[in-house]
Amino acid sequence: MIKIGIVGAGTIGSELAKWCVTEFRDDVRLVGIVDSNAEVERAVRKQVGIERKISLDELIRRCDLLIEAASAESAYGIVKQAITSGKDVMIMSAGGLIHHQQALLKLTASHRSCVYVPSGAVTGLDGLKSANIGKIKRVELCTRKAPTGFLNAPYIKKNKIDLNLIKEETVLFEGTAEKAVLAFPQNINISAALSLAGVG
């Protein structure tokens, strides 16, 4: 039975925690969930039947696989701590790895840990990664969202774009996956997954 620890009790982390104690209860054991928001963490722990609050350090010590579902900003630090403790990691905030790929490769090699990046909404990501051995010259990804989906994005703020003025389909950004992650850190995990697969 795999012991799972989850960092982040938001939408993704809480759903994963529920799946651990329902659908996958015969295969995994949820050893804990931590979140920087104590109230949110407490509510999710109550939903999944985990009474005791534990620290991130203890969570990492007790689990076999740590699932990061916190934020792109904190992802690398969490992943690094887990890997240096010899744990495998699944990272949901793929954008948090975009500038740390080489460091992660070295860490995983020296500590014999695995980092899993779910492909999410990108179907066929494994095929793209395999094809990368050959001659992929370009991968294009178009992301469409309602303008309100980009509220508070650094790119929108920096360029003083008034999202309320957008009434029809409009191109807000064109660039590499690496630049997209910096411009829209809350929206671009798909781009990050492509980049991490070596095709973005």
**Residues 40, 34: Cα–Cα separation, whole Å:** 9
Q: What is the CATH number of the domain that holds 91?
A: 3.40.50.720
Question: Is 84 in contact with 107 (CB distance < 8 Å)?
Answer: yes
Dmax (CA) of the chain: 53
Per-residue pLDDT of the chain (200 residues; tens, 9 = 90+): 999 999 999 999 999 999 999 999 999 999 999 999 999 999 999 999 999 999 999 999 999 999 999 988 898 999 999 999 999 999 888 777 777 878 888 888 889 898 888 766 555 555 555 555 556 666 667 777 888 888 888 888 999 999 888 888 888 888 877 787 778 876 666 556 666 555 54
Q: Verify that 51 and 112 share a domain, yes or no.
A: yes
pTM of the predicted protein model: 0.71
Q: Verify that 75 and 53 share a domain, yes or no.
A: yes
Q: What range does the domain containing 97 cover? A: 2-116
Q: Verify that 97 and 190 share a domain, yes or no.
A: no
Number of domains in the chain: 2
* Domain limit, last residue, from 97, 116, 135: 116
34 — alpha (psi -120 to 50), left (phi > 0) or beta? beta
CB atoms near residue 2 (< 10 Å): 12
